[in-house]
Amino acid sequence: MAELFGFKIERSSKDSGGETTFSTPTPDDGTIDVAGGGFFGQILDTDGRERTDLDLIRRYRDIAQQAECDTAIEDIINEGIVANENDQAVEITLDRLPYPEKIKRKIRAEFHEVLRLLSFEQKGHDIFRRWYVDGRVFYHKIIDSKNPRKGITELRYIDPTKIKKVREVKKSVDKKTSIQMTEKIEEYYIYNEKGLGSAGTAGTNQGLKIALDSISYCPSGLIDGNKAVYNMSYTGAPAKK
């Protein structure tokens, strides 16, 4: 089966199943786990998870507007993104990659194409600041559906408060051990233009289901292991209840 940005090309056959396990992947990128059967057909309890996740983003943005914090952040961004007329701010290093030079040239060409799509020379500072403050960044990879061979034609930024990565877990009970076993895991993104929120709060948990490879997602990598796993920004600490 081949899949590209939500479009699938597969043979007609019955579900071949897969390996059964009692555990699910570690949500080290802030992914929400929901029960199998569909994200839209149930109420997603996000108290203490999604609500806190969004509150953290808003809190970090408020902190970043403080004069002292804004100055410190600008100093960090200026140190991280250094550009001049003679050189680029970022470059890809393939010295240790065990592939021929021909393949390395293609990788470098595609890397520069991504920088062009991001308008990195003009917006590199803003891109780094968004990621640094929010602790995550999302981009929608847009292709020409009439001519997919053109590849990615645009990378469009998505506000982290409007999109969330979801992992749908389908489980069944083992008849011999009476233990819940994980049969199937499906990952995708949920997007809502009005923003995502918890029940009883502004926003909604319903939205557009987007294929996993249609979105480029880069979390901060900082994890709060004391509670449910959240991605944290560098500008603040996890919110306390």
Using CA atoms, how far residue 100 sits from 83, 132, 154, 206, 228, in Å, is: 30, 35, 29, 47, 44
Residue of higher predicted confidence among 202 and 164: 164
Residue 241 lies in a domain: no
Residue of higher predicted confidence among 178 and 159: 159
What's the pLDDT tens digit per position in 68-79?
A: 999 999 999 988
Amino acid at 66: Q
Residue 77 lies in a domain: no
Range of the domain at 101: 21-67+89-219
pTM for this predicted structure: 0.70
Q: What is the mean pLDDT of residues 1-20?
A: 53
What's the pLDDT tens digit per position in 205-228?
A: 678 889 888 999 998 887 766 654
Number of domains making up the chain: 1
Residue 76 lies in a domain: no
What's the pLDDT tens digit per position in 78-136?
A: 888 876 777 778 889 999 999 999 999 999 999 999 999 999 988 899 999 999 999 99
Residue 197 lies in a domain: yes
Q: Measure the CA angle with vertex 122, ends 116 and 126; round to 5°.
A: 110
